[in-house]
Amino acid sequence: MTETTASPALTHHADTVLRTLHIVTWGCQMNAYDSLRMADVLRPIGYREVATDDADMVIFNTCHIRERAADKLFSALGRLRAVKEARGGRMMIAVAGCVAQAEGAEILRRAPYVDLVVGSQAYHKLPELIAAVEAKRASVIDTDFPAEQKFDFLPEAQSGQGAIANIAIQEGCDKFCTFCVVPYTRGAEQSRPTAAIIAEAKRLVAHGAREIALLGQNVNAWHGEGLDGRDWSLARLLDALAEIPEIGRLRYTTSHPRDMGADLIAAYRHNEKLMPFLHLPVQSGSDTILAAMNRRHTAAQFRRIIDDLRSARPDIAFSSDFIIGFPGETDADFAATMALVRETGFALAYSFTYSRRPGTPAADAAAQIAPEVAHARLLELQEVLREQQHAFNRAQVGRRFEVLFTGPGRHPGQTAGRSPYLQPVVVADAGVAPGTIMPVTITAANPNSLMGTIKQEQIAA
Ligand code: SF4
């Protein structure tokens, strides 16, 4: 739906050729990627990015996953209103992303000085929406899920992202977990065409990327017509990307257990560029709660996937997501989650207490859990997860594996990079060029990072 409402606050000047742009990004890697692509869309019409919010255009690229996302937005908008007023109104304020999609006209009602509300499927239309704001001197909302795919209308990515680069290959979700807003804010599952993904990977490699992470809300649901005209799955796409010689590492996130097909598991046997680290959200270890969440898999099926992946790639490690205190969760359900965690062993995990998302089925469930009960369970879970993470990091000491270096470390004389398991690794050797992949011996483990050494002759080479 594209709507306009009178916006007396809008006095954006349309006659400027070169304009400054500031994008505030909240949320996941996908939002960070979307912000890059918004900058790509706006560059041809004269916008260049700046680091401060005193800009001709400020876009809030919002995230709806965490609680109070709308409150966070409105307080940031309130602060920016003063900046806009100090500029005599010569600023365009846009709200994009999932909160824009979910709140729509409510944003203009509460913050009439906002000029543009653009949903997550419409940012390829930013130039025409900006033109509409300027022509009508009124605020514009576009929260459509258009028939055409956004992916087909985005310009080619112009800029590099450094040694580690993301590519969105899939968007939206058809799973409808009962706690999640994504199917409503991002729409139905869409897969980006194969040729566009491979072309973008080659462009990113030309800009120095050595590691490519494929992104999607349900990334392993990606499928599409391959370069050979056949239907490709994510496993086949990863094989095709592995053929690009400059790519040293491949990852993908976020996956759903139901879409961990046999070919994707088998890819861990033969695709050496596929990193041995997988983020696979399970949310709960209780089948009752998994059913109430509409996760469409059981705890046993999750365990089987983990076993199969470990058979395919013995050095693989896992991260996961947990929601604790989901409506109806009993002590026995929580115990089942703890049992699954202890049995599986996670290198990393993200865990939260359940919080209601308006408009989702679970928000109206009768058996909401008392916050203090949920909180106590979360602390118990997090203690075990923290121990597992520390144990995993400690287990790396003495190992030697390849690190992808990304730039200077925090202290002078250091270079930092990423392990195959995404842990930050710091070496006391300056001058290793970003993009270099070389073996490092791990000498010490901190809770969230590793220290290592490289041989001097390797640097000289
Ligand atoms: S699979 Fe993920 S994105 Fe889709 S509804 Fe469930 S939690 Fe949300």
Separation of 389 CA from ligand 1 center, angstroms? 25
**How far is it, in rounded angstroms, from Cα 328 to Cα 369?**
7
C-alpha torsion angle, residues 121, 123, 125, 131 (rounded to 10): 140
Establish whether residue 182 lines the binding site of ligand 1, counting it when its CB lies within 6 angstroms of any ligand atom: yes
Residues 6+ apart with CB under 8 A from 228: none
**What predicted TM-score, i.e. pTM, was given to this entire model?**
0.84
Mutate to test the pocket of ligand 1, among 217, 220, 322, 323 (most ligand atoms within 8 A of CB): 217
Q: What is residue 153's predicted lDDT score, i.e. its pLDDT? A: 67
Residue 427, judged by CB atoms within 10 A of its CB (0-12, 13-18, 19+), counts as buried
Cα–chain center distance at 280: 13
Residue 428, strand partner residues? none
Establish whether residue 35 lines the binding site of ligand 1, counting it when its CB lies within 6 angstroms of any ligand atom: no
**How far is it, in rounded angstroms, from Cα 282 to Cα 2?**
37
Q: Phi-psi bin for 76: left (phi > 0), alpha (psi -120 to 50), beta? A: alpha
* Residue of 315, 221, 321, 312 lying closest to 277 (CA atoms): 315
Separation of 357 CA from ligand 1 center, angstroms? 13
Separation of 255 CA from ligand 1 center, angstroms? 9
Q: What is residue 288's predicted lDDT score, i.e. its pLDDT? A: 98
- C-beta of residue 163 within 8 angstroms of C-beta of residue 405: yes
Q: What is residue 10's predicted lDDT score, i.e. its pLDDT? A: 38
The protein residue whose alpha carbon is closest to atom 1 in ligand 1 is 175
Separation of 175 CA from ligand 1 center, angstroms? 6
The protein residue whose alpha carbon is closest to atom 6 in ligand 1 is 177
Q: What is the pLDDT along the chain (461 residues), one digit of tens a residue?
A: 445 444 433 334 444 468 999 999 998 888 888 899 899 899 989 999 999 888 999 999 998 776 677 888 999 999 999 999 999 999 999 999 888 888 888 899 999 999 999 988 888 889 999 999 988 888 888 887 765 566 666 666 666 789 999 999 999 999 999 999 888 888 899 999 999 999 999 999 999 999 999 999 999 999 999 999 999 999 999 999 999 999 999 999 999 999 999 999 999 999 999 999 999 999 999 999 999 999 999 999 999 999 999 999 999 999 999 999 999 999 999 999 999 999 999 999 999 999 988 789 999 888 999 999 999 999 999 999 999 999 999 999 999 999 999 999 988 889 999 999 999 999 998 789 999 999 999 999 998 899 999 975 555 55
DSSP reduced 3-state for 437: strand
